[in-house]
Structure 1
């Protein structure tokens, strides 16, 4: 899959996007960050804990066993795993795979890291990316909903995605069946940008049936993940990645959701991030829409009928037409 990212800093492998004054130090730190994230038992939360304690992934990787074990959430077993990990081999394997699939790593301190995502209470330490991120992506809306969407729901998701694109928004979703796919496709068809946040490595497209859609997204947006290249789409990854979907955006639009499911998790996370939540009403007797209707009924989501309702709530106007 072709990469459309800008050329990395001189001397850095094709893995990195590093806009820093000291490229060698940036390369060392990013390599250490990749290695740390791949240590068995060290997920995104523990990476953040180690960075908070040591201030640097490179320092954490070389810290004494006792100091590592004292970090909250680490303990002796994980500390031993950090010290025993073959960081060089792990990073080289990631470099090789990144070159094969055209992936980049964007660390949280890089200028290219999404500004809105940096503001949430638990931002990822880095993102893997296939495609591009631009300043225009600050004006983003998430469109989420059930995988088992009705034709009505998919049509509404597509209509709102296309209209939001015409108002200058990037559409963010999770590449799943149903509402996610309808929103991504409509954004692409409207000539807009769309970002897909994965619960797997950006080289492990899930569902596999969306491989062609994923390729198109890299050409008009990006695939993003906090999980290592090669990471499987484990069920536990998806609720956690939802905070990134909501965190990338000004607001989240729920289009059809059952009473339980990922869309409601994303809505809750958006509220916790102090972001707006919108919902489209569904027919009263539609099981696929009960979750969205309940969000409205309970006051957790603002009922919207048009894109204009979203613009009004966000206090945003449509961008001026091109001269």
Structure 2
């Protein structure tokens, strides 16, 4: 049969031909990630799937007559072209398992993704990775700890992996970015459909210092069933998973369980026994499923084979590599006063006003300007800290 590639298939190089076939396979009705993995495990290449007979297709686990028929009759080259044009517009790259940029550790898990759409960059020599996850409804303590651990691990040469969600995930990404390091966001939607939408700006920052990844179609909706499934990628990319605040149930605990199943390390930041957002993390520690970590060194003790960088050296190199004028030199008097009153620890607007003598109606617009300049971050409850 004719593959959904192009009119003259023989003139196209094999990698490009297989890329088109892989996109085509992803567009076939009824072929999800699990069935695609089964098909590729049987036939090795996407083009071979389209060349297979009906009987050969139905012998694949999970492929019934209806799905086999959909594969045999799929010939929508226009849809493949539209997907490729959409990818070009998004500057998105399709990574297949035979691409050298496809993360090695992800190949090792029981059910690796059949492909990944990527916006940004993945390096063949990417540093060691740690996944940081936690509840969307985190406290200021959880948000601060996620930011702190991400920044400190980044300074030691780690790449931070998380899921771009509200709360702990976003704080972890920002911690890595603020420290000048790399971070990867694994989505439960398509890379052309950033979810939550409010994190579109954060996703753009991530593409500049890492990558946004998804095993779903470019504009796939954030269906609820996608998120537990994508968690195996969160854990599979990394040497281990650090859980920062989790209720008794939640996606972070699913990621921790998957990490254990994948023979990866699990760490947890303890919290107050009276606080619901720490019950999940405290239980992980209590049951021996996670190592309690109070500082980065506690985590590094469980990774003796990983070579880490000296944070003082990394910071010095980062400073020496900076180009352009210092953005703080162009601040107005009131901007400088507010900026000098801030530290890396979140401070409430009332405390800032008391220290600077400014009223909230004056201070808040100035803080917003500083945030636009990338000098300040705002947390829930009108709390601010230096970027």
C-alpha contact 2:127 2:157 (8 A) present in aligned 1: no
Extract unaligned runs of 5+ from structure 1. 1-21
Query: Which of residues 53, 56, 59 is equivalent to 1:70?
Result: 59
RMSD across aligned positions (CA) = 1.5
C-alpha contact 2:135 2:277 (8 A) present in aligned 1: yes
1:2-54 per-position Cα deviation (integer Å, ceiling 9, x unaligned): xxxxxxxxxxxxxxxxxxxx981111112111111221211111011111111
SS at match of 1:177: coil
What is the alpha-carbon distance in structure 1 between the residues aligned to residue 59 and residue 96 of structure 2?
25
Task: Report the equivalent of 1:266.
Answer: 255
Size of the aligned set, in residue pairs, is: 302
Task: Report the equivalent of 2:82.
Answer: 93
What is the alpha-carbon distance in structure 2 between the residues aligned to residue 32 and residue 23 of structure 1?
12
What is the 5 A alignment of 1:251-290? 251-290=240-279
1:244-286 per-position Cα deviation (integer Å, ceiling 9, x unaligned): 1111111100000111111001001101110000000010011
What is the 5 A alignment of 1:22-171? 24-171=13-160
SS at match of 1:137: coil
What is the alpha-carbon distance in structure 1 between the residues aligned to residue 208 and residue 133 of structure 2?
21
Extract unaligned runs of 5+ from structure 2. 1-10, 318-387
What is the alpha-carbon distance in structure 2 between the residues aligned to residue 310 and residue 90 of structure 1?
47
Task: Report the equivalent of 1:12.
Answer: none
What is the 5 A alignment of 1:106-255? 106-255=95-244
C-alpha contact 1:114 1:138 (8 A) present in aligned 2: no
1:99-119 per-position Cα deviation (integer Å, ceiling 9, x unaligned): 111000111011111111111
What is the alpha-carbon distance in structure 2 between the residues aligned to residue 212 and residue 249 of structure 1?
25
Structure 1 pair 89–120 and aligned structure 2 pair: CA distance change class (3 A): same
Query: Which of residues 303, 309, 314 is equivalent to 1:319?
Result: 309
Tell which deviates more after alignment, 29-38 or 302-311. Answer: 29-38
Tell which deviates more after alignment, 76-85 or 133-142. Answer: 133-142
Task: Report the equivalent of 2:357.
Answer: none
Tell which deviates more after alignment, 135-144 or 260-269. Answer: 135-144
Runs of 4+ in 1 over 3 A off after TM superposition: 320-323
Structure 1 pair 163–23 and aligned structure 2 pair: CA distance change class (3 A): farther
Deviation at 1:135, TM superposition (A): 3.8
Deviation at 1:89, TM superposition (A): 2.1
Deviation at 1:85, TM superposition (A): 2.1
What is the alpha-carbon distance in structure 2 between the residues aligned to residue 187 and residue 113 of structure 1?
21
C-alpha contact 1:204 1:230 (8 A) present in aligned 2: yes
SS at match of 2:13: helix
Tell which deviates more after alignment, 231-240 or 30-39. Answer: 30-39
Deviation at 1:138, TM superposition (A): 4.1
SS at match of 1:214: helix
SS at match of 1:52: helix
C-alpha contact 2:206 2:212 (8 A) present in aligned 1: yes
SS at match of 1:319: coil
Tell which deviates more after alignment, 35-44 or 124-133. Answer: 35-44
C-alpha contact 2:154 2:182 (8 A) present in aligned 1: yes
Deviation at 1:136, TM superposition (A): 4.6
What is the alpha-carbon distance in structure 2 between the residues aligned to residue 203 and residue 283 of structure 1?
39
Which one has more relative contact order, counting CA pairs under 8 Å at least 6 apart? 1
Deviation at 1:87, TM superposition (A): 3.9
Larger-Rg structure? 2
What is the alpha-carbon distance in structure 1 between the residues aligned to residue 44 and residue 291 of structure 2?
40
